Chain A
Amino acid sequence: MRWLRGVWQSFIRTLFASQPDSIGAHERLTRYIYSSRHFKGSSGTVEPAALMPQPSTGETSVFRIDGLRTAAIWEIGAGIRRDSKRTLHARADLTTRSVVEAELLVEPRRPPERHAVIIGWPDDKDARMSRAQMLAAACRLLVAPSP
């Protein structure tokens, strides 16, 4: 069983490995999706509404996923909402570059480890919708594997 413990410890180390404070220009990010209306699996599209900023903070929560294995990426998404019993339906992968092209910014926001936020959203609702549409167009949808 020693090898199994080794694999597990390696997995945990990877999952919580400290990330640099600055985010790379081509770094991969993901937005976890907990609402079944916020994506369309048949066409592989992410709904812009899924990317709108949180009203209390004005920021969109994302995770930095460079260097993570697929299973670890899904585990973070499921784990962070385990207490609230939200079902993880999908995730929207994007890059820092696509955030900047949508005239927004991304910055690290720990804890938890690997957490970051998309900031710089305009005050006007319609302008925020427009930026969310640009972001969604650049996203790649991945539907969560069956449990």
Chain B
Amino acid sequence: MSATATLVAFDPGVSDDAQALRARLAPEDSSVAATYQGLAWELQEAALEAAVPNWDGYGGKPVERGTAIAARAFLRALQPTWPMPKILVDADGDIWFQWQRDSSRTFAVAFGPSGAAHYAGLLGRSRTHGEETTVNERLLEVVARSLAELYPDALRVTA
């Protein structure tokens, strides 16, 4: 199967928890839906650019189908109030969702073929990093908290 076909045809078959999250967080109005579509397009573009070995000139691994599925599941769980992330691929072929105010205030979540989520944040002088086995409530709480630190004027964490 070609890289294009693989990435276009991926089916976000994820856990029950993530399915429930997706249903709860599904975009309801047209502007949110348009944002989601824009990100879905960017995700596909990024994955296609990194669909061949050595895409980065340093022997970078290509994006695998499982990675694209996991990233798509996270994309569906993004909250409409969150700022738009940038989508990137790293040398492991993992897909990053990254929010960045400037070089010393940044937060990213990365997905690989296992579907596990690895996150890291540099929030001024403080750092955070960790892992979740899938897109779940804990991960979304970490993202929400980190984004509230990155964008204090725009976002508040509610109990």
Q: Which residues of A contact B (CB under 8 A)?
A: 32, 34-35, 37-38, 43, 45-49, 52-56, 61, 81, 84, 86, 124-127, 129-130, 132-134, 136-137, 139
Contacts and interface: CB of A to CB of B under 8 A. Distances in A.
Interface of B: 46, 49-50, 54-61, 86, 88-94, 96, 98, 100, 102-104, 106, 108, 110, 112, 118-122, 127-131
Of the candidates B56, B58, B102, B112, the one having the most CB atoms from chain A within 10 angstroms of its own CB is B58
Given A38-B56, A45-B102, A125-B112, A55 B88 contact: no
Contacts of A81: 57
Contacts of B49: 35, 37
Interface of chain A, helix or strand or loop or mixed?
mixed
Given A49-B90, A54-B59, A137-B104, A126 B120 contact: yes
Given A49-B108, A81-B57, 18 more contacts: A32-B57, A34-B56, A37-B46, A38-B88, A45-B100, A45-B103, A47-B88, A47-B98, A49-B91, A54-B60, A124-B131, A125-B118, A126-B118, A126-B119, A126-B131, A137-B106, A137-B122, A139-B103
Of the candidates A34, A124, A129, A137, the one having the most CB atoms from chain B within 10 angstroms of its own CB is A129
Contacts of B127: 130, 133-134
A63 to B, nearest CB: 13
27 contacts: A34-B56, A34-B58, A35-B49, A35-B50, A35-B89, A37-B86, A38-B56, A47-B86, A48-B106, A48-B108, A49-B88, A52-B90, A52-B91, A53-B91, A54-B59, A55-B92, A125-B112, A126-B118, A126-B129, A126-B131, A129-B110, A129-B120, A129-B129, A130-B129, A133-B120, A133-B122, A137-B122
Contacts of A49: 88-91, 96, 98, 108
B58 A54 contact: yes
Contacts, number: 101
A130 B130 CA distance: 10
Q: What are the nearest 3 A-B pairs in CB distance? A: A34-B57, A129-B120, A126-B129
